[in-house]
Amino acid sequence: MFKIDVSSSYERFGLEKNPFTDLSSEAIKDIEKIHVSQEIDSRIADILSDVIGENSGIAFSVVGPLGSGKTQRLKGVHKLIQESGGMSIYQKIDSNDIIKTTLDIFSYFPEEEEDLGETYQTTYPQEYEYGEEDYYGQSYPEEKISFFQKIKRFFTREKIQAPVENYELTRLNYNSQDIGNQMIEYLGEYKRSALIIDEMENILTASNTDLILFFEFLREFISNMPESCVFIMGCTNNAYEKIREINPAFIARLHSEMFSESLTDERAIKLVQKRLEYNRKKSMMNPLYPFEDSAIMLANSMAKGNPRELLKILHTTLFTATRESFVEFIDDRYIAKVLTGPTSIEEYIRRVPSDLREDVRIIIEKYGGGPVTYIQLAKDTHEPVTKQYAKLEELVAMGILTSEKGKYQINSSVIQMVRAAIKKEDDKKVREGKK
């Protein structure tokens, strides 16, 4: 019903590919080459200078909306600490399970660390209130255990005969103070260190009881941080307020709060220039070509200074420009034209990258524009579920699809056109006696 196949080419703009496709800093190898410094970067640099130069410890938060550059900055600190010879733990939270998250953080402990090994009895310490006699009335030979095993043993609050490696952390034995002290002890072995936790908002759907346990562990850690240690927590604004509500004592322990700032037009232009130069096939006299300043300023205004939203707008605009041979420059008028919404379904599909177009076509033709789940589409396209999910999320990032509660559909500005076209097709079949 909607047969269109127009290949895109960025070569006429002197580009290898669309420079705005990779929205996340994690997808870019040399992120330093396209980073644009802001005031928050200077503040972080001053803090790190104090931590590294004066042997002090500090804990702070980096707060801002999705796409405002938090991860890029946190990973920058992680890399700096590592390159300075220190130990840095960077953990991006991907679950609301405090057990999994805690173990993920402690998974940075080496399995074998001979220099830190100590001699222990296989019985538990007396401070666990099991008396001076061995609990099982048995004597055990001494054994050499690694620091990692020591932590696993420390987690366990029960008397069991299972081997050390079978001990498990559970909610019943989750002792926030003990776990915090173990982190202090571990990172205290290094001249400089960091514990960096990103996307804290992802854990906040856990129960309040679990969240209190987890944030008490972190509070214990930052209350007695090792020298030359930095703790950073990254999260959204709403998440930060919820954490403050759940555990105000934890927030009170932070030494500083940093909030992501919106991109100024000047910095937005610099960001676009760096992205373009990073993907140039050949140098240009105008480093912003094919964009004009007016286009970037309008796009930045529409994105409200959010870097990720700015990249989405520019991705769609440049992609559309490659399909229109008459376009030589992209100014504010062209941006406005592209983003007012397509005037036809054909134009809408034409904006979709060729490797993703079939998914959009199925959503339109089979599901009337949606909503549809990625599992349903995976069955239609015969692709792995994970790959189908990634493709749909990419389409959402481009602004081609919208998503809500795991279901995807085409833009509201187009869905009425789709349904009108389907009705027209059905009416035609009825008139022709085919339905």
Question: To the nearest whole percent, how much of the chain has pLDDT over 70?
Answer: 72
Contact 65, 171 (CB under 8 A): no
| Residues whose CB falls within 8 Å of the CB of residue 407, separated by 6 or more in sequence, listed in order | 370, 371, 372, 373
Give pLDDT, residue 34.
66
Q: What is the mean pLDDT of the chain?
A: 78
Q: Is 193 exposed, middle or buried (0-12, 13-18, 19+ CB in 10 A)?
A: buried
Q: With the CA atoms of 134, 164, 193 and 252 taken in that order, what torsion angle do they form, in degrees rounded to the nearest 10?
A: -70
| Domains recognised in the chain with CATH numbers | 37-259 (3.40.50.300), 264-419 (no CATH)
pLDDT tens per residue across span 420-430:
666 666 667 67
Q: What is the pLDDT of residues 383-392, one digit of tens each?
A: 888 888 888 8
Residue 62, SS3?
A: strand
Q: Which pTM value belongs to this model?
A: 0.62
The angle formed by the CA atoms of residues 328, 413 and 392, to the nearest 5 degrees, is: 80
Rounded CA-CA distance 174/210 in Å is 10
* Whether residue 163 has a cis bond before it, omega within 30° of 0: no
pLDDT at 17: 87
Q: Which of 12-26, 293-307, 407-421 has the highest mean pLDDT?
A: 293-307
Task: Provide mean pLDDT across the span 321-326.
Answer: 84
Mean pLDDT to the nearest integer, 263-275: 91
What are the tens digits of pLDDT across the range 339-384?
Answer: 766 666 776 776 666 678 888 888 888 887 878 898 888 888 888 8
The answer to whether residues 351 and 337 touch, using CB atoms and an 8 Å cutoff, is no
Q: What's the pLDDT tens digit per position in 205-236? A: 999 999 999 999 999 999 998 888 999 999 99
pLDDT, mean of residues 282-291: 86
- Report CA Rg, the chain: 27
**Reported confidence tier of residue 144, pLDDT bands at 50, 70, 90:** very low
